[in-house]
Amino acid sequence: MLDQIDKTLLSNLQADSRFSAQELGELCGLSASQVSRRRQRLEADGLIRGYTAKLDPQRVGLAIQAFVQVQMAKHGTEPAGDFARLVELRPEITSVWTLTGEADYLLRVYCADLEELNHLVQNVLLAHPHVARVQSQIVMSQLKQDAQLPL
Amino acid sequence: MLDQIDKTLLSNLQADSRFSAQELGELCGLSASQVSRRRQRLEADGLIRGYTAKLDPQRVGLAIQAFVQVQMAKHGTEPAGDFARLVELRPEITSVWTLTGEADYLLRVYCADLEELNHLVQNVLLAHPHVARVQSQIVMSQLKQDAQLPL
DNA sequence: GGTGAAATCTACCTAGG
DNA sequence: CCTAGGTAGATTTCACC
């Protein structure tokens, strides 16, 4: 299990993965060498999946964020695998979930403009043989932005 | 604007922010010193907002992910600011969006178990004076997981 | 928890279009 | 004048004690 030091470590690495082992040690009351060892363990155990740069979507030219709900015409393993391959191919679809409730899939999408979003909905999603209905909701504002996981 | 090298750089830093300047240089056909300079510029210009560790929600004990739609009783600036403070205080609410369409807010939530999610819905969100209706949908599976932003 | 060799970063300098 | 590449001092990491 995770002890308090692990939690502090993970929390700080979520906040900024560029902290040096020395800085992390000061933040959680440990020596740099112990921090290194713990971090290696957390990586090996798969609690830390990797390290990534957070980009500003606006500034990299992605003005439109949207959530797209997709309903399938028929259910079954074959349409599902087919759809999974489709979303894997489209880089503007960054996340896909299946939820309890009405819609079959919820997609998170980043696009340069409305035209690109429309193209995705009309010519990619609705063009798919098993897709019955697509409803997109555009993000108007983001009050809280991909905050840390609570530990 | 972003040239092709910047895009390659950002893409690789999204994939793994621990690439050394040397490795990045090989990946985009540049010397390590130039990679450093470009990265500093991208950071200073705010295209890179920071560096973070990606955690595995399951393994850090967050078994439940959900999307929660919240509708307010009355609209206006005062209830909105009030609600913004509420979501800021709750670490299990990691993202909050306002969308076009029916619901006022969409929340992304991580919880240890269903009980914790229920507590959030019943005793935190519905207890808020301006909240009229709350509908939560639990994530059953995730086909695509917080992929890179398309560049 | 501490130490030292190896790797890495970054500021400065030089060269070319 | 702006962009690219090389070099050296300082910092960081990681295997070992």
Residue nearest to nucleotide D14 (CA to C1'): A36
What distance in Å separates the CA atoms of residue B56 and residue B58, rounded to the nearest whole number? 6
DSSP calls for A17-66: TT--HHHHHHHHT--HHHHHHHHHHHHHTTSEEEEEEEE-TTTTT--EEE
Nearest CA in chain A to B85: A143
DSSP A150: P
CB atoms within 10 A of CB B127: 10
Gap from B41 CA to C11 C1', Å: 15
pLDDT tens for the 151 residues of chain A, in order? 889 999 999 999 999 999 999 999 999 999 999 999 999 999 999 999 999 999 999 999 999 999 999 999 877 777 778 999 999 999 999 999 999 987 799 999 999 999 999 999 999 999 999 999 999 999 999 999 999 999 9
Give the CA-to-C1' distance from A6 to D17 in angstroms.
Answer: 25
Residue A98 CA to residue A79 CA, distance in Å, equals: 14
Q: Is A13 on the interface with B (CB under 8 A)?
A: yes
Q: Looking at residues B107-130, what average pLDDT do you find? A: 97
Nearest nucleotide (C1') to alpha carbon of A18? D12
Model pLDDT for residues B35-57, shown as the tens digit of each residue: 999 999 999 999 999 999 999 99
Residue B58: CB atoms within 10 Å: 11
> Nearest nucleotide, C1' to the C-alpha of B35?
D4
Chain B residue with Cα closest to A61: B151
- pLDDT (0 to 100) of residue B101: 86
Rounded CA gap, A127 and A115, in Å? 16
Q: What is the pTM of this model?
A: 0.93
The enclosing H or E element of B106 equals strand B105-111
The identity of residue A33, as a single letter, is: S
CA distance A97 to chain B (A): 4
How far, in Å, are A81, A144, B15, B118, B139 from residue B142 at the CA level?
13, 22, 19, 21, 7
